[in-house]
Amino acid sequence: MSSGNTIRTRASRSCGNCRAVKRRCDQQVPHCGQCTRMREACPGYRDEWELVFRDQTDRTIKRSKEKRALQKASTGATRGSTPPPRGLGTNVDQLGVNYFLHNFITSAQSPSRGWLNYIPAVFSADAEHPTLLTSMAAVGLMALANSTRQPGLVKHARVKYSEAITSVNAALASPVECVKDSILMSVISLGVFEYVSNFESWVRHVQGAATLAIARGKRQFSTTAGILMFNQLRADLIIACIQANQPFPEGICELQKEAAKYTNTQSGFWLSGVVATRVPTLMYNVGRNKGEIPWCGLLEEAMSLQRDCDCVLGILAIEEPYTTIRGSEADPDLVHDGRFDLHRSAWAVRVWNNARCIQMIVCRIIMYLLQEMLATDLAPAIRQTLSRQFHETQQLLSNLGDDILATAPQVLEFLSSGPGRTVTFNSSSHASVSGGYILVWPLTMVGRCPVTKSSSRKWIIRRLRDIGESSGISMALQLLEDVVKIDELAG
């Protein structure tokens, strides 16, 4: 059979062990459930980006050949004429899609690049869906334009964004289209566009995505991609609720119970999200409490959350261990306080830092409650106990902040790790686009923290400014203003 007639089967996305013995793989993250049950060391999955990018490149090559054949047929009689200039059309759209894939999807080739590991499954299942492709093109072009400072691409990206919004709105009006994974994926992708552009718009976008998830109902968990998209939405919604000081939506909590039937509920990844959903509501209740609820009752709830956070971090330490390197002589502008951590993937960094940020918020709540209680008349023994808890919480906050800052060099691609954990520093590098997206919120959390040292806060300010200016993530510059004001007030 000639190569032109060869049937190309879809590449398996099962883990290495399941592919070898030809068994059904549940593709759980971070480790296959089959391997866990068989007590085997799961070797992990294929590089999803390479699979998707290969398929998309094949389509692009095919379309390009067809286009050239048509052009040759139509221009054969006018070979000597000057061809018209090419505008910002299909080729640029494809550039945006490929840039999105390369920067926002986890790649085994670069553990600091990307984290949206659910996109390939959706993309492969519905790759020709115009809404999905247009959304990815819009985000990719905006990220590329901002990082390379090309105003022409910014204009084209905004045109694609408008097209995507129109297409999403049309899909939402269709009972058939609105429940597709590709539509929710499109909405989440456009949320990345808003994240790069404006924080308030991003919050509204996340709230809209939550409404869509509720409308999709229980059926969305029939696919692995559906569960992973729900987890992404849940993480974004937690940040949005905390920033807007709103309780976590009950509708998403109900969906979380349904999603638990289709995932490994004992993994640190899942438990971290479940614990995190309780934090916005506690924060909201504490903020509006005028004495209706005893402070000691709220403190007990906060301390329970604190213990659950400790449990999650303990599980992550087993599931996603990392290497800490201290005493580094690297440029202090790139590596904070001579320490950096090496993780296996950007996905792992994101899970760790999400858990740390949640625990930092719980610590802030505990400190606030302790201050309120210490301002009242207390027995000496009780006052001493509460004062000790206050200082212990301060120290925990400081440690969490240092842990977050230690993830920055790898995620921002200031360094790379080779065989045997050999480290190479990229001193001339600017923050990567996807790395900046991952770190904006954690860095802001540490920068706002009252126990953060002045030198550390100034390091954070430089990082946020670099992310905003070199990666084009304007939200970094918006949140930077808060950190700068706190630094100025701290003297």
- 473-487 pLDDT, tens digit each: 778 888 899 999 999
Which of 394, 429, 464 is the endpoint of a domain? 429
Buried-exposed string 225-236: b where 16+ CB fall within 10 A, e elsewhere: bbbbbbbbbbbb
β-strand 415-417 against 423-425: which pairing, if any?
Answer: antiparallel
Decide which of 58 and 347 is more confident.
347
Please tell me whether residues 245 and 289 are part of one structural domain. Answer: no
Confidence of residue 52 (pLDDT cuts 50, 70, 90): very low
Separation between Cα atoms, residue 289 and residue 303, nearest integer Å: 17
In terms of domains, do 244 and 114 share one?
yes
Q: How far is CA 249 from CA 191, 254, 490, in A?
A: 19, 9, 35
Q: Letter for the amino acid at 209?
A: A
Cα atoms in the Cβ-side hemisphere of radius 13 Å centred on 259: 27
Spatial CA neighbour of 140 closest among 92, 180, 89, 209: 92
90 domain residue, yes or no: no
Quickly state the pLDDT bin for 425 (edges 50, 70, 90). confident
Residue 2 has a pLDDT of 35
What residues pair up with 340 in beta bridges, in sequence order?
Answer: 325
Mean pLDDT confidence for 155-171: 86
For residues 278 and 400, membership in a common domain is answered with: yes
Q: Is the peptide bond before 247 cis (omega within 30 degrees of 0)?
A: no
Q: Do residues 42 and 31 lie in contact, with contact meaning Cβ atoms separated by under 8 Å?
A: yes
pLDDT on residue 244: 85
Q: What is the pLDDT of residue 90?
A: 53
Q: Please determine, for residue 84, whether its predicted confidence score (pLDDT) is greater than 50.
A: no
Segments forming the whole domain that contains residue 23: 13-40
CA–CA dist 420, 178 (Å, integer): 48
Alpha-carbon gap, residue 23 to 127, rounded angstroms: 27
Q: Which of 107-121, 337-351, 415-429, 455-469 has the highest mean pLDDT?
A: 455-469
In this predicted structure, the answer to whether residue 112 has a pLDDT above a threshold of 50 is no
Predicted confidence band of residue 63 (pLDDT cuts 50, 70, 90): very low
Report yes or no on 92 lying in a domain.
Answer: no
* Distance separating alpha carbons of residues 208 and 226, to the nearest angstrom: 17
Listed in sequence order, the residues at least 6 apart from 5 whose beta carbon sits closer than 8 Å to its beta carbon are none
136 or 84, higher pLDDT: 136
Higher confidence at residue 243 or residue 252?
252
Verify that 303 and 249 share a domain, yes or no. no
Q: Is the pLDDT higher at 77 or at 298?
A: 298
Closest by CA to 14, choosing from 5, 29, 26, is: 26
Confidence of residue 86 (pLDDT cuts 50, 70, 90): very low
Q: Answer yes or no: is 113 within a domain.
A: yes
pLDDT at residue 123 in the model:
59
CA 291 to the chain's CA centroid: 38
Count of CB atoms within 10 A of residue 223's CB?
16
Q: Is the pLDDT of residue 56 over 50?
A: no
**Pairwise pLDDT comparison (225 vs 119), residue with the higher score:** 225
* pLDDT mean across residues, the chain: 80
Residues 269 and 416 placed together within one structural domain of the fold: yes
Is the confidence at residue 374, as pLDDT, over 50?
yes
Place 60 in a pLDDT band, splitting at 50, 70 and 90.
very low
Residue 418 in this model has a pLDDT that exceeds 70: no
Spatial contact of 39 and 87, defined as CB atoms under 8 Å apart? no
Confidence of residue 234 (pLDDT cuts 50, 70, 90): very high
Lowest mean pLDDT among 6-15, 258-267, 401-410: 6-15
Q: What gap in Å lies between CA 383 and CA 373, rounded to an integer?
A: 9
**What is the average per-residue pLDDT within 28-35?**
78
End residue of a domain, out of 410, 429, 448: 429
CA angle 63, 64, 68 (to 5 degrees): 120
Regarding whether 295 and 172 lie in a shared domain, the answer is no
Query: How many distinct structural domains can be found in the chain?
Result: 3
Helix (H, G, I), strand (E, B) or coil at 107: strand
Tokens of 322: 């990392």
Token output for 233? 């939405």
Give the lowest-confidence range in 213-227, 243-257, 433-447. Answer: 213-227
What is the average pLDDT across 392-419? 89
Determine the length of the chain.
491
Residues 238 and 284 in one domain: no
Question: Do 211 and 225 lie in a common domain?
Answer: yes
pLDDT above 70 as % of the chain: 79
Q: Which three-class secondary structure state does DSSP give residue 338? A: helix
Query: Which of 71-85, 421-435, 455-469 is least confident?
Result: 71-85
Check whether residue 325 and residue 182 sit in a common domain.
Answer: no
Q: How far apart are CA 121 and CA 339, in angstroms?
A: 36
Q: Are residues 148 and 235 in the same domain?
A: yes
